[in-house]
Amino acid sequence: MERQLHIISTGKQSLDQFVAICARVHPYVDAIHVREKMKTAREISEFLTALIKQGVPPRKIIVNDRIDVAVVFGVKGVQLAHHSLSVRKVKPHFPSLSIGCSVHSIAEAMEAEESGADYCIYGHVFATGSKVGVPPRGIESLRSVVNHVNIPVIAIGGIHSNNAEQVLKAGAHGIAVMSAVFFAEDPVGEAKKLKKIIEKMA
């Protein structure tokens, strides 16, 4: 797996705002996660319909939790959380889907690998506004996770263009960001910066 840049919806933007940004930044990212915990399958399908209509390739779209929506739209894959169906149950039925797992420890990362996950997203590495009051796990913790599994580890949590390089130096196979792109004054400029850092570290 080449090093990758993933962007993840914040759940705080309207469909139109989210799609408008994705339409401009998708050339510079490897995956766009539709992570809308409070929305129904029908509402999530509206996000996917709008993304595809605006030219975002389905091969770049990852749906969080909703395997049904991912399969119907034929997108890249699905990201599973602790409350989702297990990878072990999903993978045999949908072998063409790229399946990622959100993990928060070495044990969870090892379980994801053993279950057949294609990659895992680990965090939060740095302090972030989406995890107020929860201490960050830090660079050394990320390094330990990377060293304990063979599947790619994507780092998440408080990552931006000023600290992305140290995350990649710790062994992460990629970075996932939310506010760094979606709340940036210049989302395209920030995505380009992050992609350039990743390419430099490849």
Q: Which of 171, 167, 170, 169 is nearest to 156 (CA)?
A: 167
Q: Enumerate long-range contacts of 162-166, CB under 8 Å, 24 or more apart.
A: 163/126, 164/194, 164/197, 164/198, 165/197, 165/200, 165/201, 166/139
Which residues make beta-bridge pairs with 8? 33
| Catalytic option among 83, 124, 160, 173 | 124
124 is catalytic: yes
Q: List residues with catalytic annotation.
A: 124
